[in-house]
Structure 1
Amino acid sequence: MLGEHHDLVHEFPEFRDQIHALKVSNSHFARLFDEYHQLDRQIRRIEQQVETASDEYAETLKRHRLQLKDELYRMLRQAVA
């Protein structure tokens, strides 16, 4: 979906508290969190045609964002368990 927000709090509202706690206490989570959000901003800029990129490059960014999201979700689930 074009221009949709994919930030983690919108994606996983049930983990709002865990997201904050892990950002503060886990440097690996914090680094992945920042990388995820930088990618999300870049993808939104491409989708909104603020920046130009080939379709192949945009799809590569989206796949990387999805991989990061999966890893962050796994870390959030482990934090709750």
Structure 2
Amino acid sequence: MFKECCPELIPVMEELAKENPHIDKLIQRHAELNKIIDEVEAGREHMEELELEKLKKEKLHIKDEVYQAVLEYKKQKGL
């Protein structure tokens, strides 16, 4: 999940997710997509390449949205 790319933001992300249901849902969806993508890439699940690319783009979009929300949250809270 986000732990690989930005572990220093995890505490802030968890705090934000508690306060913001939309962000919480995005984080959950990101984890779900990560699991699906990992399964396909490991060969344990099958998916058309086009569909896999679509999921990867969705995952990246969610990551960007959550990251921006975390930065804004940190700014608002003076962290």
* TM > 0.5: yes
**Secondary structure in 2 aligned to 1:9?**
coil
**Identity across aligned pairs (percent)?**
24
Unaligned runs of 5+ in 2: none
The one of 17, 24, 27 equivalent to 1:33 is 27
Which residue pairs with 2:3 in the alignment?
9
Amino acid at match of 2:7: P
Counterparts of 1:30 and 1:16 in 2: how far apart (Å)?
Answer: 12
**What's the CA shift string for 1:38-73, capped at 9, x where partnerless?**
001000000001110111111111011000000010
**What's the CA shift string for 1:7-66, capped at 9, x where partnerless?**
112211121210110121110110000011100100000000111011111111101100
Unaligned runs of 5+ in 1: 1-6
CA RMSD of aligned residues (A): 0.8
TM-score, length of structure 1 as denominator length: 0.87
The one of 10, 18, 21 equivalent to 2:12 is 18
Which residue pairs with 1:47 in the alignment?
41
The one of 46, 71, 74 equivalent to 2:65 is 71
Q: Report the count of equivalent residues.
A: 75
TM-score, length of structure 2 as denominator length: 0.89
Rg larger in structure: 2
